[in-house]
């Protein structure tokens, strides 16, 4: 077990980080009627010396007039605008989960009204010299429970179970010869016996009312820690590539942060790396935060109006899952 854990390297920023703290401007007035517990901010300050456009929404989790929700599709995708129209025009719609373009399959967990309606893909078949071997990963999610407390955790999900199971400690990836991860006797474990005790200790029922998954985690315990290797998200130095981004986190005083960064528009908005994204979230006060699907999927609507400009030339990309804020 020690050998397995040593194989997963946590990406922690310890050296001086080349990103000055950006200045944000309140733009509530551009987005119509907004509750006093919600605010919209934007910045055009440079990121690492490159042009940048970013927006974030901050919402008070304790405001009972705000409802935090998700929606998802099955084997099809909708644009954020279509989700907006479908859900009686919520205050906020933002893209969330990753997906398979060929099948429209959602690749991440979604919890809607307390029910697990979409599941993480935990197993990938390996190739080449590792044929007949499998890689198991546990990707991250952000959830909000009935008491309006937010949490970022790493999930195990099973379509035969009502609840997701979560670990507050990052774990994996694990390579073995077993094609599935099994759930047995009230605890999570692989069929491979050496893993069973770890799952008993780490994974517990995650009773969230709303949750959406993606990855990797960007901020833990008010520190920039990118768990890209453990979640097996982006290969090589891809975490340093600049792209449009979507991310979410929460602060110690119960505020939810939803951040989007425009990108892939040379000379106007270059995008952000995962480490840039993590630093932005940390500077906004997040104690925990994670990355969601980015690139051409990144899009956030406030009262139906776009914040960043989507990078696809066709405009908003259809996606299988979104996070929303509605008002009573």
- pLDDT tens-place string over residues 31-72: 999 999 999 999 999 998 999 999 999 999 999 999 999 999
Q: Which helix (H) or strand (E) holds 135?
A: strand 134-136
Could you identify the residue written with the tokens 């979230």? 281
Q: Which helix (H) or strand (E) holds 228?
A: helix 228-231
Diameter of the chain measured on Cα atoms:
58
* pLDDT tens per residue, range 282-294: 999 999 999 999 9
Going from N- to C-terminal start, the domains of the chain cover 11-122+139-167+208-327
**Averaged over 302-308, what is the pLDDT?**
98
pLDDT of residue 287: 98
* pLDDT tens per residue, range 131-187: 999 988 999 999 999 999 999 999 999 888 888 999 999 987 888 888 877 554 344
Please state whether beta strands 255-261 and 174-176 pair in parallel, antiparallel, or not at all (unpaired).
unpaired
pLDDT of residue 178: 80
pLDDT of residue 10: 46
* pLDDT tens per residue, range 216-259: 999 999 999 999 999 999 988 888 999 999 999 999 999 999 99
pLDDT of residue 190: 43
pLDDT of residue 238: 87
């Amino acid at each position: 077990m020690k050998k397995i854990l040593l194989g997963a390297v946590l990406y922690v920023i310890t050296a001086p980080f080349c990103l000055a703290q950006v200045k944000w401007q309140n733009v509530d007035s551009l987005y119509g009627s907004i509750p006093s517990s919600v605010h919209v901010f934007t910045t055009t300050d440079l990121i690492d010396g490159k042009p940048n456009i970013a927006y974030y929404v901050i919402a008070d989790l304790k405001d009972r007039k705000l409802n935090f929700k998700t929606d998802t599709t099955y084997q099809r995708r909708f644009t954020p605008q279509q989700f907006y129209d479908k859900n009686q025009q919520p205050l906020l719609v933002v893209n969330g989960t990753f997906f398979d373009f060929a099948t429209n399959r959602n690749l991440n967990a979604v919890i809607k009204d307390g029910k697990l309606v979409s599941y993480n893909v935990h197993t990938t078949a390996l190739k080449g010299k590792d044929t007949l071997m499998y890689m198991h990963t546990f990707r991250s999610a952000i959830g909000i429970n009935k008491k309006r407390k937010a949490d970022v955790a790493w999930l195990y999900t099973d379509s035969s179970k009502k609840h997701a199971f979560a670990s507050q400690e990052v774990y994996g990836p694990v390579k073995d010869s077993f094609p599935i991860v099994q759930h047995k006797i009230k605890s999570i474990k692989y069929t491979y016996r050496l893993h069973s005790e770890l799952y008993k200790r780490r994974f517990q029922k995650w009773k969230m009312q709303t949750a959406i998954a993606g990855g990797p985690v960007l901020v833990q315990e008010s520190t920039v820690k990118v768990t890209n290797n453990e979640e097996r998200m982006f290969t090589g130095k891809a975490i340093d590539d600049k792209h449009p981004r979507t991310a979410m986190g929460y602060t110690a005083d119960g505020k939810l942060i939803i951040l989007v960064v425009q990108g892939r528009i040379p000379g106007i908005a270059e995008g952000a790396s995962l480490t840039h994204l993590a630093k932005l979230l940390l500077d906004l006060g997040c104690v925990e935060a994670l990355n969601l699907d980015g690139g051409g999927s990144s899009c956030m609507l406030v009262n139906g109006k776009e914040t960043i400009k989507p990078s696809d030339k066709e405009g908003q990309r259809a996606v299988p899952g979104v996070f929303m804020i509605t008002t009573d």
